[in-house]
Amino acid sequence: MNNTKVQKWLIDNVSFLIFLALFLVSSAIASEFASFANLNNLLMQVSVLGIVAIGQTIVMIAKGFDLSVGVVVSLAGIVTVYLQPYGLVVAIVAGILVGVVVGMINGFAITKLNINPLIATLGSMTFVGGITLGVTNQNPVSGTDMNFLMLSGNILNWVPLPFLFLMGFLFLTDRFLKNYRLGRDIFAIGGNSDAAEYSGIKTDRVRFLSYVLCSTLAAIGGILLASLLNTGSPIAGNGMELATIAAVVLGGTKLTGGAGSVWGTFWGISILNILSNLLDLTGVMSYYQTGLQGLVLILVVIITTISAKRQKNKGGMLRTFQ
């Protein structure tokens, strides 16, 4: 009995364990890795992508996808930087609104027009991406308000503020998904949409909400990134859609929906980030880097699938013996 509990814990936390292993290996390989400055860098490096990935996790638990997070990151950053002369509050609220609006468009297209999430968000990705490049004429906009940079500064000289935001959002989203009805509805829809519908869940409304939440978090990530770079750039969020999906999968969220956790995603992001940090420190050519990251992704998914299958078989056996 006790043994199965341990096994279950190991499987549920496989991404954390891999992270831990990588962390130890990295400390041993690269002498600079465990230095104070590098750890501080690492905290900053996971923050923006981590916040964007929380949203992606919510959508993917509900058996969806959001390919538009990258362009939302870019556009929200641009809008916030552009509107700085009207005051930081106005600028930041407007940046967040970008996320809300794109999320509503995605949600509407997917729930009311019944467009496949992949196609709907691919559409909004190209549409918003095109607008972003158009309004900026491909040029980045520089910030004018130096107070804006404080958003990505260090607290007590060592924890980057974006990392505290990330922790806050992780905690809140985790609570929301586990303890609130709406959160549990997201799992129910992802697990079996028809069954959820029959049991009285307003599936369209919940799904709509999941896309709005996702885009809003992406926008917040975009604002923090703009603060870090003191620039709103039309290419700031390039590639984040796939990076977040990879991290979500690494974190144990099923592509088939209905299972997963935001903390898993956090460890997923941390694994990818630690890998690229270590490879940068050891001077491995970038081409091998992306190759290795792909390999790790595939390996981890294979391991989780195999171990989950075994656990299931064993669990089934136990139940019949009881």
Partner 1 sequence: MKKMFSLVLVGVLLTMLISGCSSSATNQGSKNEPTEAASGQKTIGVLIAGQNAPYLASYVKGLQKEAEAQNVELVILDAEWKIDKQSFQMQNLITKKVDAIVLNAVDAKAIVPALVKAQSSNIPIIAGNVGLEEEGNKYIKAFTGADSITEGQGAAQLIKEALHGKGNIVQIIGSPGMEPTINRKKGFEEELAKIAPDIQIVASEVGGWDKAKSVTAMENLLTANPDIQGVYAHDDTMAVGAIQALKEHKKDSIKVVGIGGSAAGIDAIKVGDMYGTNLQSPVQDGVEAIKVAVKLINKENIEFFNYIEIPKITKENVANFTPEW
Whether 78 and 136 have beta carbons less than 8 Å apart is answered as yes
Measure the N-to-C terminal CA separation of the chain; round to a whole number of Å. 11
Q: How far apart are CA 126 and CA 57, in angstroms?
A: 22
Cβ distance to partner 1 smaller for residue 62 or 67: 67
Cβ distance to partner 1 smaller for residue 38 or 192: 38
Q: How far apart are CA 227 and CA 7, in angstroms?
A: 43
Least distance from C-beta 316 to partner 1, angstroms? Answer: 16
**Sites of contact with partner 1 (CB under 8 A):** 6-7, 10-11, 14, 17-18, 21-22, 25, 29, 32, 35, 37-38, 41, 44-45, 48, 137-140, 142, 149, 225, 228-231, 233, 235-236, 238-239, 277-288, 290, 292, 295-296, 299, 303, 307, 310
Cβ distance to partner 1 smaller for residue 13 or 192: 13
Cβ distance to partner 1 smaller for residue 39 or 93: 39
Which residue, among 298, 291, 260, 305, has the nearest Cα to 56 in the 3D structure?
260
Which residue, among 301, 309, 191, 187, has the nearest Cα to 249 in the 3D structure?
301
Cβ distance to partner 1 smaller for residue 151 or 177: 151
C-alpha distance from residue 175 to each of 163, 184, 261, 263, 317 (Å):
18, 10, 11, 11, 33
Least distance from C-beta 159 to partner 1, angstroms? Answer: 16
Cβ distance to partner 1 smaller for residue 79 or 189: 79
Least distance from C-beta 274 to partner 1, angstroms? Answer: 11
Least distance from C-beta 119 to partner 1, angstroms? Answer: 25
Q: How far apart are CA 215 and CA 125, in angstroms?
A: 11
Which residue bears the tokens 């799904």? 207
Opening angle at CA 80, ends 265 and 273, nearest 5: 25
Least distance from C-beta 206 to partner 1, angstroms? Answer: 32
Other Cβ atoms within 10 Å of 231 Cβ, number:
16
What are the φ and ψ backbone dihedral angles of 253, each rounded to 5 degrees?
-75, 135
Least distance from C-beta 25 to partner 1, angstroms? Answer: 6
In sequence order, what are the beta bridge partners of 154? 160
Cβ distance to partner 1 smaller for residue 81 or 170: 81
Least distance from C-beta 233 to partner 1, angstroms? Answer: 5
